[in-house]
Chain A
Amino acid sequence: MIANLGYFALVLALLCTLYAAGLGVLSVSQRRPDWLESAHHAALLVWPLVTLSSLCLITLLVTDQYQISYVANATSRSMPLYLKVTAWWGGQAGSLLFWSWLMSTFAFVAMLRNWEHDRDLMPYVIAVTMITIAFFVGLVVFIENPFTRLWQLPTGDTVAAMMQPAGTLPFTPADGRGLNPLLRHLGMIIHPPMLYLGFVSFVIPYAFAMAALLTHRTDAAWLRATRRWTLVGWLFLSLGLLLGGRWAYDVLGWGGYWGWDPVENAAFMPWLTGTAFLHSVMIQEKRGMLKKWNIVLIILTYALVIFGTFLTRSGVLSSVHAFAQSAIGPAFFIFIGLTFIGSLALLFREWDHLRSDNQLDGLLSRESAFLLNNLLFMGIAISVFWGTVFPMISELVTNEKISVGPPFYNRVTGPQFAALVLLMGVAPLLAWRKASARQLGRLLLWPFLLTVVVVIALLAFGIYNWGALLGFGITALVTFTTLMEFGRGALARMRVNHEDPFTALTTLIARNRRRYGGYIIHLGVVLMAIGVIGSNFFQQETQGHLRPGEQLTLGRYVMTYDGLTEFTHTDGRDVARAVVSVYRDGVAVGQLFPRRDFYSETNQPMTIPGVRSSVEDDFYILLVSWEPIGDSGATFKIYLNPLVNWIWAGGLVFILGTLVAAWPDMLEEKRLAPATAYATQKAA
């Protein structure tokens, strides 16, 4: 009953999206504003319908309705309530419904918020968002339906279908199979919603960009209307990536936080093009340049968002041939192809209208620095894309699957990242339009001298790795120039307004949120870069077999194996938990409990590390194996990850900066009022 209601609501939602998209477009060509009103109402109805459908699924999940195929596959009786709720996005069909729900939520808010301001763009904004939702809801309705029921064939096999197939009986399993144990972690519970939120919020700027193209608007109105959407999308995507890294570090048990896994890359690629977009829109807003390029970037970001979902949802990663086994892969492929080609065709149609309002005044300028920034972001994005899709190309061409692992990505993107971070330090010092090399040299003098001091200090501490020295040198330079920017701004305020330093600094940030929010983000990136350099260049590891009482040494740390217990947890997993004492410079710093969980229901082992964290480094212990009978010994793998916590700290600074930049600003709203009022006048 509930399942039927959920499915029915979804079918209605699909009809609404198609109706709204069609009527929205027709309202323009037929000059019928009342049709647009109707399309608007239909579009607004999509969110309540998808919400109703989602509530139905959640009800089924939390009330143990195992006759529903999705519920039986994603939950089990032993799972706590919150995990049953999160099973909403724990499986294929549910996660697509979840995607649709988030997307419809964002479309709903955009529809309400921008209805008055951007009336002339609205028909197409409705069309683009509704078509995107229609695609995902369509996938759920026709291909991956979470509401199908289980039926038993006379042979004893079960099938899943909405209607009872002939000759079958209703079937209700006694218990479900349970959520993938790897996903039973707080990070994994928050991580997918964050990523998906990031994904779907980039659809809004894309929709406005397409609307601007279709209405022949060449100004930056679409950028202004969607600036906050872009920042919010970017914030969630960044949060999703950070949480994913943390989850990998805590749960996957391989001593690292980023493995260049195709699934990680799928989320990273739209982040890269989105970041390029965030930077290059500033040139269009300020100087009326790069109009075409910004549209290209948002088209790419949208395509990569859908591509990312495709990669993770179609099974194409395990094998190109698995892709055709479900209809979902080809459907995604066609949708990406059509939207991508369609968007580019629209762009080319408007190509001549999108001429720059200004020209570049000097090769050395803020504008050219932004362009170089864009080139680097695109370079990294293309490198990552290439590494991710190459195994598929190889499989198609030579029928042999290959792996493209971390060594490739580190080698290819490492230098590009270094250049990008360096640029991050220099670009803010360059003036708009035309900068002089002398002025730049004067501004860079002190930061550069301080950087030299830092590098000499590092040498004195015994760091001779030139790659690390270069990396740390670049981060130092960026830190000094960025802090100098804060200092110069605050000093100017102190001089002009006679404010005390604290007031000057806080007012400076509060009154220029985007600029200084951006600089705070840059400082966050610097902290993360320090963590990445430290943990990449100076990670140490060793492995050894220990009997109780024996010890293993790594760097300044010594671990002693105290003992091991094996037990079965109440939720059914078999746990082997080792007790290890850790000493640093001969001083006891505590006990750690690395363990191995084994989920017999899914036949899946999980290695949970024991970690001792400090600002300086992480001492990270994995239990590799043990002798089950008696307690004669166990094998441990230990890592020393220097500076790894700087990554998480940097992540917090990064998020803080994004919040500063994205926070609503009355002054800015007022300044933008004329631009948006124009749109309303025109529509009225």
Chain B
Amino acid sequence: MGRRQSGASLDELREAYQRRLAEFRRVAAAIVGDRELASDVVQEAFVRAVKQRASFAGRGSLDGWLWRIVVNTARDHRSDPVGDRDETDEPGVYHDMVDERRNVVRAAVQQLPERQRLVLFLRHYADLDYGSIADALSISDGTVAATLHAAHSRLRELLSEVRSA
């Protein structure tokens, strides 16, 4: 979404919110580790966006600007977990195979550097192309490609280690 003028209109923000809400929330959930909190985070991010909409310079895409706000807001609310919070972590509570596998993935993803995690989340959960990810994280396209490759390799390696353990 290229722009020539500065400032974003409410209509544009609403359209982006409605079009990409599920992706915003999924990425936020991956960052903060809590689905409910992720919904709050996206709401909070868009409150910020509406309030600051005049400051959108129009140099990059509106989507990139919004992703930057969502990611930063999520990072402000982030706690230790990655991915959906697992309420079965409490001792003595029922576990099933899905929980167990999810915990394995969470542990592996937590070992990745933050930039690799963010690139991975934006690519996988929001299906953003390299240019949009670069825009959202304020890095170059080349860095996105290299970071994503490194993230995939490391994650594959970590999950293989679990499998062979």
Partners in one complex: no
Question: Which residues in A have some Cβ–Cβ distance to B below 8 Å?
Answer: none
Which B residues have a C-beta under 8 Å from some C-beta of A? none
